[in-house]
Amino acid sequence: MLTGLAVWVAAAALGLSALLRASHEGSTALRIAGVAYLLWLGVQSLRARPGRAPGQPALPPRGGGRRLSLLGTGYGAGLAADLLNPKVGVFFITFLPGFIPHGQPVGATSLLLGVVFIGETAIYFAVLLLLAGRVTSWFGNPRVRRRLDRATGLVLIGFGIRLGVES
């Protein structure tokens, strides 16, 4: 996703995303590509077996070889999700110019602001990943898991009782 952001920032700094915004056909093509990608992800999620992340192949690759897929999982999926989202480009066209001081070069300042945005996003992702690892290991503790299951059961019983007494 950070690579996708970098591409959109470069496009905005070069004026390409403004051209895309002005071009109805270009915007429509990007939107259709985004819709197709989302539909593909949805079908992959429906085909996924329990315990496997969406986007992983439903069937193992033939011949035991490694399946190469740009849009399948990990890096490719994040890159495609970001590049096929025209809202990201529109964001850089409509939001960032409001922060460019009068008289400053638009391209260079847009690029600088985009780099700051990417840096902040990278920090956010790093914190998110750090916390996700800790929470996952915490949920893996059988004692904690048992308590969470009990709490969830009580909440569900409470919802059931509330639903039963409401008219």
Q: How many domains does the chain have?
A: 1
Q: Extract the tokens encoding 101.
A: 């001081």
Quote the CA–CA distance of 14 and 27 in Å, as a whole number: 17
Look up the pTM and report it: 0.56
Spatial CA neighbour of 5 closest among 98, 69, 91? 91
* Burial tier of 73 (Cβ tally within 10 Å: 0-12, 13-18, 19+): middle
- Domain that includes residue 43, residue range: 2-165
pLDDT digit string (tens) for 87-117? 777 777 767 777 888 888 888 888 899 999 9
Residues of the chain short of pLDDT 70, as ranges, are 16-22, 27, 30-31, 34-35, 37-38, 41-42, 45-73, 94, 163, 166-167
